[in-house]
Structure 1
Amino acid sequence: MRDRLIFTSLILWGIAAAVSLTLLLAVPLFYIDIHLENLTQISGLSAEVLRHNFNVLMTYLVNPFEGVLQMPDFPSSPDALQHFKDVKKLFMLALGLTLVLSPALILFLKEHLAILYHNGLRFVMGTPLFIGLVAALIGFDNFFIYFHEIFFRDDTWLFNPDTDPIINVLTENYFMFTFILFVVLFELIFFLLYWSGNKRLQKKIFGKTEQ
């Protein structure tokens, strides 16, 4: 029971940690996307201005002491501000869980539970790949809609470009890139855990054989 609780906590930690790492990399990813999708031409703003506004947005989303969002060059409707507030709560939850559940990672490694949950780790690694396959089959736009319908109670995430022009530069491709980044980071975290367990298991088996 205790080991199962540690493993469950580890899964939650892995999800939260992957989200947290994605948040850290979301900024440079947007900087790259400015050039990839020619966002300066779409928005009529310079790359420097776009970077500054995005930094303001991300500071609001990840800083618990930043209570007001006011991007200097992008007005926001009340619905958009409410949505960003809801997103901030989810991000705060992810960052908090990464810290609070970190002992689960320590215990998992210290007690070599990767050996016990060898197959469980493989299943965990397969889950986001399956979700990614579903997203590819139904189209990322439909996946994006379903995702928001699951995690948000209302339709404030449906931005109007006229009242919330930020949506013109937060493109579908950008969100797809961040989703792919999350999956890669998630897979990397659990692959390393699986690899450590596999290495320990082989050492245990070969050790018994030599005896």
Structure 2
Amino acid sequence: MKRLLNILISFSLAIFIISGSVIIGLKCKSLYYYDVKKLNISEMSGFTEEEIKQNYDYLIDYNLNKNVAKFHLPTIKYSKEGKIHFEEVRNIFQVVKKVFYISGLISVLGIILSIKNKNIKFLNTASIMTILLPIITVIPLMINFNYFFIKFHEAVFSNDYWIFDPNIDPVINMLPQDVFFHIGIFILAIILMISILLQMSYRVLNKRYK
């Protein structure tokens, strides 16, 4: 029973960290702002830097803020299919947020119970569970991100609306694949750092409780 509880808490904590890292990665608008200059997105898309940031900020708020329920890009035209795709993306992130809150609540309760019983093994297990994602994911990302990107969309979405036509959905011109690659690496880096911190915490506390 104790082992089962440890696995449950560890799994919940790992899910909390991963979902939280995804949310942080998406919220980090400064990463995209850097890419706007680094990748010459303004020149590539034909939009001004101010216009790009305005529409990108809206996309982030639309995905993460449940109060922004209606999709309407501030200055860029979009198709019906494009609108549907962004609605589907928003639904995914709303699920991620719910998972984050639920796993967070379970994790907090589990951590309190575990520490009260001087059981800190969950830190080691959660660290291992969490670090597996960056290790497994970073290999295909580095080898062939384009293939990974396509297969991910094919697996997640039941239609091909994610294949944008720049003529009717010019927003895609301000979202080159390199942007998603950088966000993905940033998210994996956060997960990796937290996993290391969990492992360090486990080793320090394990010595204390011996």
With normalisation by structure 2, the TM-score equals: 0.88
Give the aligned residue type for 1:12: I
In structure 1, what is the Cα distance between the partners aligned to 2:150 and 2:168? 20
In the other structure, the counterpart of 1:128 is 134
The superposition leaves residues 146-173 of structure 1 with CA deviations (integer Å, 9 ceiling, x where unpaired) of 1111211111111111111111110110
In the other structure, the counterpart of 1:24 is 27
Q: How do 1:1-211 residues align onto structure 2 when only pairs under 5 Å count?
A: 1-25=4-28, 27-110=29-112, 111-112=114-115, 114-116=120-122, 118-119=124-125, 121-137=127-143, 139-205=144-210
In structure 2, what is the Cα distance between the partners aligned to 1:154 and 1:128? 28
Q: Helix, strand or coil: the match of 2:83?
A: helix
The superposition leaves residues 148-205 of structure 1 with CA deviations (integer Å, 9 ceiling, x where unpaired) of 1121111111111111111111011000001001101111222222221121112234
Q: Helix, strand or coil: the match of 1:101?
A: helix
Higher deviation after alignment, 124-133 or 14-23 = 124-133
Structure 2 runs not aligned, ≥5 long: none
In the other structure, the counterpart of 1:209 is none
Calculate the aligned-residue CA RMSD, in Å.
Answer: 1.8
Structure 1 runs not aligned, ≥5 long: 206-211
Matched length: 203
Q: Which runs of 4+ in 1 moved over 4 A?
A: none
Identity of aligned residues (%): 24
The superposition leaves residues 82-141 of structure 1 with CA deviations (integer Å, 9 ceiling, x where unpaired) of 11111111111111222222123324543145425625622530332222112222x111
Q: Assess if the C-alpha contact under 8 Å between 1:115 and 1:200 holds in 2.
A: no
Deviation at 1:17, TM superposition (A): 0.8
In structure 2, what is the Cα distance between the partners aligned to 1:116 and 1:45? 49
